[in-house]
Structure 1
Amino acid sequence: MAEGREHREYRMEELAREAGITVRTLRFYRERGLIQPPRREGRIAWYDDHHLARLRTITGLLDRGHTLNGIADLAATFDSGRDVAEVLGLGEPTEETPVRLTPEKLADYFADEATAENLSAALDLGYLATDGDEIVHISRRLLEVSAELVREGVPLSAVLSSGRLVREHADALAAHFVRVLRTHAADTDPDQLRTLAHAVVDAELSMALDRQLRDDDAPRPAPDLRGQDT
């Protein structure tokens, strides 16, 4: 190991030993592009803790039944994801709690639904962001609800599509409430604005669900077969 460096670095043999794999496997992962190229000093290749974290992630995902091809797709999507600072902006959400996850933990939430395609969609939607070797979900509530919907049999792709649609309507509703209150009650406290907006949306959504579920449960009239040949 190199001395006096800010972060720990490893020779290939050291890294393989720390990761619990063989040097041959490490070379294979590197050739497949599953880990980033090492830093080189002449003929010496130096790996760091980011490489070690990625190798442990690969092992964890393999243990969960993911294939190397699938892991390669996930790694490529993960590496190209937006940084958490870009998603969160100047500050964290006022009411939502971001959740830090390893790729293995994300796979535990969504099992075989944690595909590169779904990960890419979640990154694009802003549900997920990257922070070094970690993934950050923007909202614990959304994470838990999404996982529950998947457990109920809803494909994660459908959950994300629904989330995108809800986001569009929620943005429009939020803009409307802010505009109305700034026009007619400019001195309203922002916290009170949130409370009032939540109350209206919750009540209307509850009644809308009642109407939809009632319509779905209503008996369908039998088809009129009069006049048809028998």
Structure 2
Amino acid sequence: MTEIREYRREELARLAGITVRTLRFYRERKLIPPPRREGRIAWYDDHHLARLRTIAALLERGHTLTGIAELAEALDHGRDVADVLGVTPTEEEPVRLTPEELAARFEGQVTPDNLAAALDLGYLGTDGDEIVHISRRLLDVSSALVREGIPLAEVLAAGRRVREHVDALADMFADLVLRHTEEEDAVQRLRPLARSVVEAELSLALDRRLRRDGEHGEGPQRGQRPEGSGGPEGPSGSGAF
């Protein structure tokens, strides 16, 4: 088991790239959990350092301290990630991991920027010393893509694009159902049909893509983007942290 290092206040601030005054301010705003106390000495650990680096990355992405504080307070008090994010009941199974387990899954690519991106997308939250991923399936897919050599940052970027497309599909399906039924639970009851349509269409789309690649050679080489991959026709890959 990996030993968690501990730091005095000044050392933690230096490693996080902030001042001691800023660290005190974050503590007062409850952006970080309280330190372990040994007499008059406050000891912080790697979890505090990771939280501070995540705060910095979220601030760079335009999040406010108020919003970050609300998220941190809710998660530190053990609320379910889906509740914090305002997500309705789902078929997806959340997964709890330690920071070390998360780092091992993604081969050292859990940087502050990637962690902030995952939080921004709603994939990750924290509950005490644990990290909670909102979907076991997405966690398994994204870690498999990283093992295949795809950088985690690109997996997250693809996940953001996929999110945009599936949100549009969900709206289209819900609008279709609600136009033709008065049942309050119709969308929930018929969601397996929507999932089947998306899975079938994606499978057929991949078949078409593979046929095109076969007709024109072996397709793009490793490290190259296929022509038109950034166009409006849809994502060329998927996955989510």
User: Which band: TM-score by shorter chain?
Assistant: 0.5 to 0.7
How far, CA to CA, are the matches of 2:92 and 2:148 in structure 1?
24
* CA 185–119 in structure 1, closer or farther in 2 if over 3 Å, else same: same
Q: 2:82 aligns to what?
A: 88
Q: Choose which of 148, 154, 158 in structure 1 pairs with 2:154.
A: 158
Runs of 5+ unmatched residues, structure 2? 17-22, 24-31, 59-67, 218-241
**What letter corresponds to residue 32 of structure 1 in structure 2?**
R
The normalised TM-score by structure 2 is 0.62
Q: 2:104 aligns to what?
A: 108
Does the 8 Å CA contact 1:77/1:119 hold for their aligned counterparts?
A: no
How far, CA to CA, are the matches of 1:166 and 1:215 in structure 2?
22
* CA 86–95 in structure 1, closer or farther in 2 if over 3 Å, else same: closer
Q: 1:141 aligns to what?
A: 137
Q: 1:32 aligns to what?
A: 14
Larger radius of gyration: 1
Does the 8 Å CA contact 1:125/1:164 hold for their aligned counterparts?
A: yes
Structure number having the greater helix percentage: 1
Does the 8 Å CA contact 1:96/1:138 hold for their aligned counterparts?
A: yes
Map residues 49-64 of structure 1 onto 2, 5 A cutoff: 51=44, 54-55=45-46
SS at match of 1:136: strand
> Deviation at 1:195?
0.9
- Identity of paired residues, percent? 49
How far, CA to CA, are the matches of 2:206 and 2:4 in structure 1?
52
Q: Choose which of 124, 127, 137 in structure 2 pairs with 1:128.
A: 124
- RCO comparison, higher one (Cα < 8 Å, 6+): 2
Does the 8 Å CA contact 2:53/2:112 hold for their aligned counterparts?
A: yes
Does the 8 Å CA contact 1:128/1:136 hold for their aligned counterparts?
A: yes
The normalised TM-score by structure 1 is 0.65
> Deviation at 1:44?
2.1
Q: 1:76 aligns to what?
A: 52
How far, CA to CA, are the matches of 1:122 and 1:20 in structure 2?
23
> Deviation at 1:179?
0.7
Runs of 4+, deviation exceeding 3 Å: 25-41, 77-87, 90-93, 188-192
Q: 1:182 aligns to what?
A: 178
Matched residue count = 178
Q: 2:214 aligns to what?
A: 217
Does the 8 Å CA contact 2:81/2:132 hold for their aligned counterparts?
A: no
> Deviation at 1:131?
2.0
> Deviation at 1:133?
2.2
Does the 8 Å CA contact 2:178/2:187 hold for their aligned counterparts?
A: no
Q: Choose which of 187, 191, 215 in structure 2 pairs with 1:194.
A: 191
Q: 2:19 aligns to what?
A: none
> Deviation at 1:207?
0.7
SS at match of 2:204: helix
How far, CA to CA, are the matches of 2:35 and 2:4 in structure 1?
18
